[in-house]
Amino acid sequence: MAAITLEAVGKTYAGGVKAVHSIDLAIQDGEFVVLVGPSGCGKSTLLRMVAGLESVTEGKISIGDRMVNEVEPAERDIAMVFQNYALYPHMTVRQNLAYGLKNRKMAKAEISRRVDEAAQILEIGAFLDRKPRALSGGQRQRVAMGRAIVREPAAFLFDEPLSNLDAKLRVQMRGEIKQLQARLGTTSIYVTHDQLEAMTLAHRLVVLNGGQIEQVGTPLEVYRKPASTFVAAFIGSPAMNLLNAKAEGGVAHVGGGRVPLAAAVTGPVTLGLRPEDVRPADAGTEGAFVLKIAYVEELGAQKLVHGTVEGQNFACALPSDAALGQALHLVPEPGAAHGFDAQTGKRLG
């Protein structure tokens, strides 16, 4: 178990592609950190640099109190779970689990103790003598996890380990990974582009965009106080509405309504409102703005109403029994509005 520290870490690929720009991040011992961001933002690159599978072209990576930039993957005391699991197809499950221990010349008795223990934790005892091709996707996933935990490493690295599973299994495995990490207390870095997976798993989220950190924080911090329009749009489902508005003394004017912001700004501003943070109001209510309804999605527990506010797309979540006409008057919940700089997209206040 160990802390992982990244100091000004950057990566420029041989072709000149700059995949990661100067990242600073301190991961505490036992922490579960999720790197999340859209495709191509450099998540895998960053994780692979920690694993030692990619060279570090700028900055320093330390695991524990050891700088590991030049250390071989095998010597870093980490275990990795790959997206395609990378199980050895010619070995049985037992041999897959034991391979890393054997290579480290561990005693036979200790190997079989650890394999049996991991098999019990992951409930894969019944297929120890099967080859990976005779397993289902979920079972392979467990074996891949087993291969990581038998090593009892200082850190687990996960690169989108659930993306090859169907939706239902993904939710189940997500829960299991969370419990397993809590139980073992091993420092973990988990890469995903699925914001829900990120929110549910992380102690701390790192939102990446274009090779840079947009925001670091607990899932709730990131959800409640997104640092930029990028994070605001990325975290939360359905996504936060972002409207171009004019502000005067900390109040945004849009769609005929007035929405108070946390910062006393004047001028153009981007107003952020989550679909669940508005409620319908009577026409003529103080500050209410107008949503012209385009179409409605019934989700069962609630309905999602899509339309436009002053010609800009807007969605709101309403109770399923809400009555609808051609248009809706909406007021934000108190304190729920987010203000962002219209130019830079950075959070105001």
Partner 1 sequence: MKRIFFRNKILPYLLIAPQMVVTIIFFLWPAGEAVLQSFQREDAFGLHTTWVGLANYRALFQDPDYIHSLQVTVVFTIGVTAVALIVALLLALAVDRTIKAGPAYTTLLVWPYAVAPAVVGVLWWFLFNPTIGLMPYLLSLVGYHWNHALKGDDAMILVIISAAWPQVSYNFLFFVAGLQSIPGSMREAAAIDGAGPVKRFFTITLPLLSPTTFFLVVVNFVYAMFATFPVIDATTQGGPAGATNILVFKVYQDGFVGLNLGSSAAQSVVLLAIVIALTVIQFRFIERRVEY
Catalog residues that contact partner 1 under the rule CB under 8 A: 51-53, 72-74, 78-80, 82-84, 86, 88-90, 99-100, 103-104, 131, 147, 151
Give dist(CA 204, CA 34) in Å, integer. 6
Closest by Cα among 59, 65, 56, 60 to 12: 56
**Look-up of token digits 């549910």:** 200
DSSP secondary structure, 281-297, as one string: --TT-TT-EEEEEEEEE
Sheet arrangement for strand 312-319:
278-280, 327-332, 289-298, 302-309, 312-319
Binding site for ligand ATP (CB under 6 A): 13, 15, 17, 19, 37, 39-45, 193
Q: Would you say 94 or 338 has its CB closer to partner 1?
A: 94
Task: List binders of Mg ion among 118-147 (CB under 5 A).
Answer: none
Q: How many CB atoms lie within 10 A of CB 235?
A: 23
Q: Which of 44, 139, 229, 241: binder of Mg ion (CB under 5 A)? A: 44
Q: Would you say 12 or 212 has its CB closer to partner 1?
A: 12
Q: Would you say 55 or 237 has its CB closer to ligand ATP?
A: 55
Q: Would you say 54 or 276 has its CB closer to ligand ATP?
A: 54
With CB under 5 A as the rule, give the number of residues binding Mg ion: 1
Give dist(CA 336, CA 221) in Å, integer. 14
Which one of ligand ATP, partner 1, Mg ion, none is in contact with 42 (Cβ closer than 5 to 8 A by kind)?
ligand ATP
Which one of partner 1, ligand ATP, Mg ion, none is in contact with 74 (Cβ closer than 5 to 8 A by kind)?
partner 1
Which one of Mg ion, ligand ATP, partner 1, none is in contact with 45 (Cβ closer than 5 to 8 A by kind)?
ligand ATP
Closest by Cα among 80, 97, 90 to 146: 97
Retrieve residue 188's tokens.
Answer: 């973990």
Q: Would you say 5 or 44 has its CB closer to Mg ion?
A: 44
Contact set with Mg ion (CB under 5 A) = 44
